[in-house]
Amino acid sequence: MSEFESKVVMIAGGARGIGRAIATSLAGAGAQIVLVDAPAPMQTLGYPLPDADALESAVAEIRAAGGTCTGYELDVRDRPRVAETVQRCIAEAGRIDMLVNCAGVGSVSDAGEMDDLTWSEVVDTNLNGFYNLVRAVTAHMTARGSGNIVAVVGDSARRGAAGLSHVSAAGWATIGLAKSLALETADAGVAVNVLSLGPVDTELSSSAEFRSAVADLRHVVHGQDAIEAMGRRHPNCEPWVPMEDVVRAARFLLGGGTSMTGSVLDVSAGLSALNSS
């Protein structure tokens, strides 16, 4: 029997991209998946966010493959609604065993030219959204004496990244929050870890601006040039971290207990070799 058999796994940002891939994998391993997604539209991202139809089709696809899945429309920035949705999920599914936060957004702007909304749409989603989720779910997990929380962040959470100061700040802060929460909950059997990823080929990383920024360029290059620049940036010479490697790492983190908590697992095409530890 799989370690995920019958586990209730809430995946925020699960309608597409990384969240959806993790959901599909865990559903195939017998988990009961709860997808939350379809935030209010944002103005500064330059790409569309998944809507209710996208969420519905993700749920339908997992069910069609024989998996168990429900979906809730939720913007993780809406703290009361997050609390309400978590309670509703606990009432309907009986519990939440695991929480995976993939609800992250990105944009590119130098700090000196950044407007307030560009800052706040990223920080409110990536940092405060994760806080809203853990604030809502942690007491349930500690009361049950078990639980596993994984926050997914981009590699700019591990270093400075020009053009991405808001994404980087939110990512670093997410790690600080995860480590703090890990210290508060380890004795109650709850593990909290961070999965830090190099670029993954999703909607978030579809713009030439974003690709150029993660390639550490200070000018924008397009098309194949951007992808080749990303490959040159990475010690393993690959532009992308393959989704299957992301899923494998997420499953590793989710499958463990508190022996591994407060950790950051870097799956970053070799960029972690540049980390100070």
Token pair recorded at residue 8? 């209730």
Given the complex with another protein, which of 178 and 243 has the nearer CB atom? 178
How far is the C-alpha of 197 from the C-alpha of 231, rounded, in Å? 15
Q: Supply the minimum distance, in Å, between the C-beta of residue 213 and another protein.
A: 10
Helix (H) or strand (E) holding 191: strand 190-197
Rg (CA), the chain: 18
Q: Supply the minimum distance, in Å, between the C-beta of residue 117 and another protein.
A: 10
Residues 6+ apart with CB under 8 A from 207: 46, 47, 108
Across 15-168, where does the E strand assignment appear? 32-37, 68-73, 98-101, 147-154
Footprint of another protein (CB under 8 A)? 79, 110-112, 114, 116, 119-120, 123, 127-128, 131, 134-135, 138-139, 142, 156-157, 159-166, 168-184, 218, 262, 275-277
Q: Supply the minimum distance, in Å, between the C-beta of residue 276 and another protein.
A: 5
Given the complex with another protein, which of 50 and 147 has the nearer CB atom? 147
Q: Which three-class secondary structure state does DSSP give residue 72?
A: strand
Q: Supply the minimum distance, in Å, between the C-beta of residue 162 and another protein.
A: 4
Q: Supply the minimum distance, in Å, between the C-beta of residue 110 and another protein.
A: 5
C-alpha count within 13 angstroms, C-beta hemisphere, residue 227: 7
Given the complex with another protein, which of 139 and 273 has the nearer CB atom? 139
Given the complex with another protein, which of 55 and 161 has the nearer CB atom? 161
Contact 37, 100 (CB under 8 A): no
Given the complex with another protein, which of 74 and 149 has the nearer CB atom? 149
